[in-house]
Amino acid sequence: MSKKICIVVHNFSDYGGVGVVASNLANEFANSDSRDVFLLSLIKDGRPLAYELSEKVKYHGILTKETRLRTQLKELLKPVTKFLKNNQIDVAIIMGHWPAFLISPVKPFVKTKFVFCDHGALMNQWEDKKNTFMRLIASTVSNHTVVLTKRTREDYIKHFLISKKKIDYIYNWIEERPEDSIKYDNKSKRIISAGRFGYEKGFDQLVEIMSPVIRKHDDWHLDIYGDGEMMNIVQQKIKEYKIEKNVHIMGEVRDVRKLFKKYAFYVLPSFREGLPIVLLEAKCNLLPIVSFDVMTGPAEIVRDGIDGMLIEARNNEKFSDAVNYLIEREATRTSMSNNAKGNLEEFKKHKIMKQWEKLIDNI
């Protein structure tokens, strides 16, 4: 039976993994002739949309600027209710605990079924009472909850006592592109990292990690792509450690994946992750990976010693050792590159979309 689907995001002008998933999901649902698909951005602040949408996806934004949480709750109630009712939305897939919490008061006033999609990991922010409370409310109010990993599903069941029937884990998917690398450049002496410059991404720690590496291998370079509130701090740290000639902040790039092919390997210094799409993009481009083995995410993507290296979380010294290890072993890098695509089938669109279609049809 045909259902009208609405993907809900906080601000579709923001770059990041949530926006990638939202646009991918909306565009894929829109490919079906039996689906009417909408994308609702709670904030529409005048900036260009971060990601392309199919002409079949109907885009709508509400608030023109971001305000205090309490104010947003009040300002969103009537327009979101009106939007869902007027467009007769059957299922709203809400991307992230912030927007899910913000529109939770709407639920009693509409017939729309809510699917809360958590793009983080419950236990990574368990001590953060506000975010944990938001997740509790979102999962309680919604008809169904979708998380990114097996571990997070288990945590929701254990700590929120959510019914096993009311929660699934569905990976983010990745599709190989014609422009992806078809041959690994084992002579490259450049390392890449990318993401939002937020505290949890650990780019300030990455500078500390790279300092001893650069002293030992001064012909190697690290390029960091992205933007955010920590950028100035990271820039100052690069100067402090006197490695400006080797560590470069490249700024925000619309599609950093296109640049991967010129790099030797990818590094992920995050303190917490959900399921980082950027690691899947790196694997599509045959790049070995060095990542902290944080609570959720990297260990379900990276096979330690096969296509990358997983390092004890927050152990900068061991991370430096791992980077040096790959720099000094071209044969190991090449072997890991050859193995990079070995588990990508688990993250392919056809498999993930079957899970989403089944969920939407049965809710």
Assess whether 246 and 119 both reside in one domain. Answer: no
Assess whether 333 and 354 both reside in one domain. Answer: no
Report how far residue 207's alpha carbon sits from residue 240's, in angstroms, rounded to the nearest whole number: 10
Nearest CA-CA partner of 123 in 283, 336, 11, 274: 274
In a domain, 181, yes or no: no
Task: Indicate the helix (H) or strand (E) that contains 65.
Answer: none
Assess whether 56 and 132 both reside in one domain. Answer: yes
In a domain, 54, yes or no: yes
Q: What is the DSSP string of 290-305?
A: EEE--SSSGGGT--BT
What's the Cα-to-Cα distance from 69 to each of 46, 61, 125, 326, rounded to whole Å?
A: 20, 17, 18, 45
Q: Are 309 and 322 in contact (CB under 8 A)?
A: yes
Residue 98 CB: number of other CB atoms within 10 A? Answer: 20
Assess whether 328 and 354 both reside in one domain. Answer: no
* pLDDT at residue 34, as a whole number: 73
In a domain, 185, yes or no: no
The model carries a pTM of 0.79
In a domain, 240, yes or no: yes
Assess whether 258 and 323 both reside in one domain. Answer: yes
Q: For the chain, which residues score pLDDT lower than 70?
A: 1
Structure tokens at 171: 């990976």
Residues of the domain holding 207:
190-344
Assess whether 156 and 237 both reside in one domain. Answer: no
Report how far residue 53's alpha carbon sits from residue 86's, in angstroms, rounded to the nearest whole number: 22
In a domain, 322, yes or no: yes
* pLDDT at residue 340, as a whole number: 97
Report how far residue 38's alpha carbon sits from residue 35's, in angstroms, rounded to the nearest whole number: 10
Assess whether 149 and 168 both reside in one domain. Answer: yes
* pLDDT at residue 104, as a whole number: 97
In a domain, 241, yes or no: yes
| Continuous H helices in the chain | 17-30, 69-86, 97-102, 129-141, 150-160, 203-216, 231-240, 277-284, 316-327, 330-339, 349-362
Assess whether 121 and 248 both reside in one domain. Answer: no
Q: Burial level of 198, CB count in 10 A (0-12/13-18/19+)?
A: middle
Residues 6+ apart with CB under 8 A from 256: 192, 194, 225, 278
Nearest CA-CA partner of 18 in 39, 3, 47: 39
Beta bridge pairs of residue 291:
268, 310
Residues in the chain: 363
* pLDDT at residue 1, as a whole number: 52
In a domain, 180, yes or no: no
Query: Tokens 């949530």 — which residue?
Result: 18
Assess whether 223 and 86 both reside in one domain. Answer: no
CATH number at residue 297: 3.40.50.2000
In a domain, 184, yes or no: no
Assess whether 216 and 290 both reside in one domain. Answer: yes
Q: Are 125 and 118 in contact (CB under 8 A)?
A: no
Tally of domains within the chain: 2
Taken in order 165, 166, 167, 172, the sign of the CA dihedral is: positive
Assess whether 168 and 282 both reside in one domain. Answer: no
Assess whether 108 and 226 both reside in one domain. Answer: no
Backbone phi and psi for residue 227, each to the nearest 5 degrees, phi listed first: -155, 165
Report how far residue 121's alpha carbon sits from residue 149's, in angstroms, rounded to the nearest whole number: 8
